[in-house]
Amino acid sequence: MRAFKAALVAGLALAAQPVMAADPAPVIAAERAFAADGLTLGFKASFLKHSAPDAIIMQPGPVNAHEALKSQPDRGGPALYWWPVWAGLARSGDLGFTTGPYTVSGRHGGYYFTVWKKQPNGRWKWIYDGGAGGTGPHVPPPPASKPRHLADAPAAAGSAAVAMKEVAEAEARLAAGAQKDLQAAYLAVLADDARIQGSPAPPADSAPARERELAARPATAQFKPLGGQASRAGDLAFTYGEAHWTKDETETKGHYVRMWRKGQAGWRIVYDQLQPMPPARPANA
């Protein structure tokens, strides 16, 4: 009991501290190094080098990245390159993300999203890497462009455990609302500076673009949370899970990935990706 009270007091003290500027330069540098190694070392070696032991990728559900990469060829395949154009970092400096365009053999392929976590040895490793949409006709920012920064969280839960409990409650409310009206459920929890992806359109980073992206999604959906992690400060939290919906009389399975930020009015989504499961490959492929 005494230990619990001490932890509670410590958490409240951290939550009451003034907001500190969180410069995402470390995760931007980690992402650029990851991309550079992709060109020199190849896809498999670079992904193994820069991923944490518990990192996940979607194939189509969440699987351990290291286990999934074992069966990949050491070299060969199309040249994959990417660069960050937007990034964020927790005030505790231990959890962050970047997102930006990627190219396949020099041709625009879409936008990636990577979640980074500082390891016990101080090095940054990614714990989630994926991509979605963004293949519509547009000109993405060039590789040399300076990434924009996510605004700092105006509040914090005080610990990762408290943050994940609060975010789980927020996810449950969103899931309940999405079963009735997906667009309204999202609009209630999207931050003013949120980016959302899923359709072939570029990432939606303005109110009109977000409304268009939501309008392209199904009217309703079912979400099932599968996991996630929060920063030590409890101001940023990454979540992922299964998604099921019916649109145009077609039942679809997929997954979602989100980044939540703590605010004075509660948790708000700053990044959301809703991605359908890729079509099944023919048995003789």
Q: Mind listing the pLDDT tens digit for each residue in 203-230? A: 999 999 999 999 999 999 999 999 999 9
State the pLDDT at residue 22.
82
Q: Specify whether domain 160-276 bears CATH 2.60.40.2220.
A: no
**How far, rounded to the nearest angstrom, does the alpha carbon of residue 260 sit from its chain's CA centroid?**
9
Q: Residue 283 pLDDT more than 60?
A: no
Instruction: Supply the pLDDT for residue 280.
Output: 53
Whether the pLDDT of residue 139 is over 60: the answer is yes
Q: Which sign, positive or negative, has the C-alpha torsion 148, 50, 20, 3?
A: positive
Q: Can you tell me the distance from the alpha carbon of 88 to that of 170, in angstroms, rounded to the nearest whole number?
A: 21
Long-range contacts of 223-227 (CB under 8 A, 24+ apart): 223/171, 223/174, 223/175, 223/178, 223/256, 224/175, 225/168, 225/171, 225/175, 226/61, 226/62, 227/56, 227/62
Burial 254-278 (b: 16+ CB within 10 A, else e): bbbbbbbbbbeeebbbbbbbbbbbe
Q: Is the pLDDT of residue 94 over 90?
A: yes
Per-residue pLDDT, 143: 93
pTM of the model: 0.89
Amino acid at 242: E
Q: Tens digit of pLDDT for each residue in 152-190?
A: 999 999 999 999 999 999 999 999 999 999 999 999 999
List where CATH 3.10.450.50 sits in the chain. Answer: 25-149, 160-276
Residue type, 204: A
The pLDDT mean for the chain works out to 89
Domain 25-149: which CATH class? alpha beta
